[in-house]
Every structure is written in C-alpha cells, then in structure tokens.
Structure 1
C-alpha cells in the first residue's frame, strides 16, 4: 500500500495533541501517571508520522489520543501533577529564584502594582500556581487550549509583536512548552521570538539583581540529557547567540529548569549563527529532540514602534 505523503506543517498547534470534550471525571494519581506516559508515547508517534508524511499513521495515533481523552484529559492529569500536594508546580522554583528580586522591589515600591513583575506565561494550565498566588506578578496567561477564565486562547507564535514598551514583559515562562513544538526549526524560532517580547536593559533601568529580563525554560530532562542532537552545551550555545545568559539551573530526574537573562547588547553583531541538526551525543538509545536555527533566525530587534 502506498503512503500518502504531505508536507509537514510547522504550525505550533500541530505540535499539540487533538482536543476532546472533557467529562470532568476525576482521575487518580496512578492513572494520571499512566495517562501522561501513554499520551507522550502516542504524541511522539504522531509527530514522527507527520514528519514522514504518513497521514494514515498520524491519524491512527490521533485516534488513540482521542480515546484517552485528548488534550483536555492530558491537561487534567498535568494539573494533578502540578498540584501543591504533589509538589509538581514548576513556578514554585521560579518564585524561589526570584525571591531576592521580589523583596528588593517591594522595598522600593512598598508592595504596590509598580513592584510586581510582569510575566507572560505560555502554555498556562492554571491561574492558581505558586507565582499567581504570591501577589508578586502581573501575569498574562495564554494557551492553545484554554482551561478557563484568566487564560487567553492564543498561539504564542501568532501573538502580535509588542507595539511599545508597555506591551513587553519582565519575564516569559515556557514550562513544558518547547518540547511540544512539532519540529526542530520551530523550536529555534520560538526561542528567538521570546526576545521580541522582553524588555531591553538600558543604563537608566534600575538594577534587577541580574535576574531580569529573563526566560524561564522547563523541559523534560531527556531533551538535554539523553538526546542525540541536544545537550546543555548545545542549548547554551543557541541561547547565547540570542543574547541570553544562564543564571539559574536545576536538574531533576524528570525535568530540567533554567533561568536565562536577556541582554541584546551582548548578542553578536556578526551575521546570525546557524545551528543545524548535528549529532552531539551519539548512542543507540538516545532520542531525537533537537533545536535548529536557520539562516533567517536573528536575535536583533529594532527600535521602531517603541
């Protein structure tokens, strides 16, 4: 039987699993872990089929994902994993890392709105995580499949670029988002695009303890610890090319956490570097997670519209 091939789309929405109308049924912790593992396996198969242009295999994987409850059910399981009782809320670590800055801002601003940190949370699942509950952030939350009031249904890759300084952010959170982008070039473009939404440092800016503006990046640990094409050194090379500097990091068995501060003046003035798909960690049991930058990627940002 011939394979029906079709050009792979690079839309961020194609990297996410299909939707399914949730019945809001409860789910046990054990069932949540099983569902998440199965979902990840099927979604990987679906993305591989899409890349190969095998629509039949992609549709079969999508059908199995729908049978599990689709993205709604997966997000329910993820929310259970992020609950306070499970200790899985990644924003707890971000809040811990930013505590010195939060205290300093409160001291300067007396705890008013001017002391709060403006954050864009991409892939938001909840309005009640640690950062949201702290009262220290003004947060704009977006997700492809909004889970309720307070979360805007929006694709980050289609979000309009800031028209002025007031539309920029102090920090962007990409917690378990980049790994859902369906292709390596799209992941590179997402990272590059974050620089367009962050404030730029200036001599007149108040000192922010070297923590802002910044990107909070969380990935499955296998993306940098067990990939043929990405390790921490490769990731740091890519981030540095955009003007990012790693200031905080933590590695757990399941996840890696990074805080990168942005200073575009530190980005190279030479033509933008390209980062092709290159094997950096060979081995038969490695995965194929990769981040690619093409010749069109650039960390530069003009001042028009400010």
Structure 2
C-alpha cells in the first residue's frame, strides 16, 4: 500500500494568481523613428499655434499628440533607441573620449568631477556606471527615480563654482527644441553652468577635455541642412568660447565634445538664419544667435 505524502499547508500567497508585470513591447527601428519624427512635428505645430493665439488648433494638436501615446510613448521610443542593437547609449562614446583622463597613473582631480545630464532617460548609462562623476540628471518629463523633472532653460543659475559643472551633456536634446533662436539660447546658457576654463588648467590629463559640452545631434542636422553645416556649427561654438576637442560621425548621429576655452558671454557678431545649401531634399535645422 502506497504511503501518501503529507501535504504542506498552503499559504495565502499560494492561492493568489501570479503577479504579472507587463513589459513594454519592443518598437521596430522604423516605427521608433516615425514616432519620434511625428512627435517632433506636432510639437512644432503646437508652438506655432500658441504663437498665433489659435486655441482651437492648439487643442487639436494636443489631441493628436495624445493619440500617439503622449510624452510617455515618445520617451519609450527614445529609450528603445538606446538599446545596444540600436547603437547603444551615446555616453559610451563620451567615456571613450575621456579614457585617457582616467588611465592608471594619472593624477586624480582634487574633487569629484560634476556632470549635468540634460534630457536624461536613464540612470544606468555608461557614464553613470563609470564611477568618475557626480551626476545630476534632469528631463522635462522624468520617467525614473533619480531624474529630476526640470526645464534646463528654467533651472536657477549657479551661485558659485560649487554649483557649476565640469561637463554638460546635451544628447539628442538641441534638435527637439522647436525654435532656432531658442536653440541658440540653450547653447549660450550652457556657458553659465560650466566651470571656468582655468578650473583644470593645472592638471594636464584633464585640461584637454574639461570643462566641456557633449553635444549629440541627428547626422542630417549638420550634413543635410539648408542652414547648418560643420563649419557653421564650429563658428557658432567658437563665438561662445568653445573649441572642438573631439568628434565622431556615424550614419545616424554626430557626436561632439566642445571644450570651454574662454568665459565668453555671447557672440560679438550675430548668427542669423542663413541659407548655406539649397535643394528640396534639405531639412530646416538651424541655430540662431544674437
């Protein structure tokens, strides 16, 4: 006669259905690009409607944005673009450039290097995991703990060097600012949040890279714009006291590291919206200063 095994008494948890945590569906590369472009276009139309005082058009455009999934869906697409099979996160390139600064035998800075990441989407990118930076992360619509919900253009100005940064990251941020003049104002504003160029002048391993601005743009913003090419971008950045320290171009993106060389308060001469290249296939990305 078989001996029956004694059953263990069930707990309350055993009687509950398993907790299901739905994972966001993966978005194809084509869909990701389409969603981001649609969102960008709608935001531009919305700003135009607001400028004209057309409340009906503004409401209609807001409804279209919600139909696309709103800012949450847009940010999901942006995060999807940071997956390794989509090219990975841009801070990997930044850390490759900074590698000589942190090589064995190099003099350590007298205090931790401070980074401001504007438009942050994750606290787990390569820079965050490097251990070399104290990072403040901000975004217009924070989706993760550790990212402050804040508009960079409304962020209080630093009172002294203890509130300034050694590096600012603007990765795929400037291209989503809808107005060319506002883009210029954003670049100008970065100079107010960076340490002065003398901060690292005595540490040779750091002075070639800090203080600096990390700027990432879609490649067509520079390669196929009516109003922007690399020479124009260099001229604009030099007028703000920056010098190009490093750059990289891929099929999709352009990466720049701009080292701050002088305490410039603005360009001596203006940079208006000026056609550089003609052609119906060009885009209208521009930066206006002055």
Q: 2:157 aligns with which of 161, 168, 182?
A: 161
Residue 107 of structure 2: aligned partner: 108
**Does the CA contact (< 8 Å) of 1:250 and 1:258 recur in 2?**
yes
| 2:171 equivalent in structure 1 | 175
Q: Larger Cα Rg: Structure 1 or Structure 2? A: 2
In 1, Cα distance between equivalents of 2:254 and 2:158: 29
Q: Which residue of 1 aligns with 2:230?
A: 232
Alignment partner of 1:98: what SS?
helix
Question: CA-to-partner distance for each residue in 1:116-157, whole Å, 9 max, x for gaps?
Answer: 421000000000001101111110100011112111111100
Task: Give the equivalent residue in structure 2 for 1:297.
Answer: none
C-alpha separation in 2, matches of 1:279 and 1:97: 33
TM-score, structure 1 length as denominator?
Answer: 0.79
Give the equivalent residue in structure 1 for 2:31.
34
Instruction: Tell me whether 1:256 sits opposite 2:259 in the alignment.
Output: no
Q: Does the 8 A contact of 1:118 with 1:138 survive in 2?
A: yes
* Aligned 1:92-171 pairs, distance under 5 A: 92-103=92-103, 107-109=106-108, 114=110, 116-171=112-167
Aligned residues: 265
Q: CA deviation at 1:243?
A: 0.6
State the alpha-carbon separation in 2 of the partners of residues 181 and 24 from structure 1. Answer: 32
1:32-71 mapped onto 2 (5 Å cutoff)? 33-48=30-45, 50-51=47-48, 53=52, 55-71=55-71
- Measure how far apart 1:114 and its partner are: 4.7
- Distance in 2 (CA, whole Å) between partners of 1:201 and 1:38 is 40
C-alpha RMSD of matched pairs (Å): 2.4
Q: SS at 2:103's partner residue?
A: helix
Give the TM-score taking structure 2 as reference length. Answer: 0.83
Contact preservation (8 Å) 1:39, 1:65: no
Does the CA contact (< 8 Å) of 1:36 and 1:74 recur in 2?
A: no
CA distance in 2, matches of 1:90, 1:195: 22
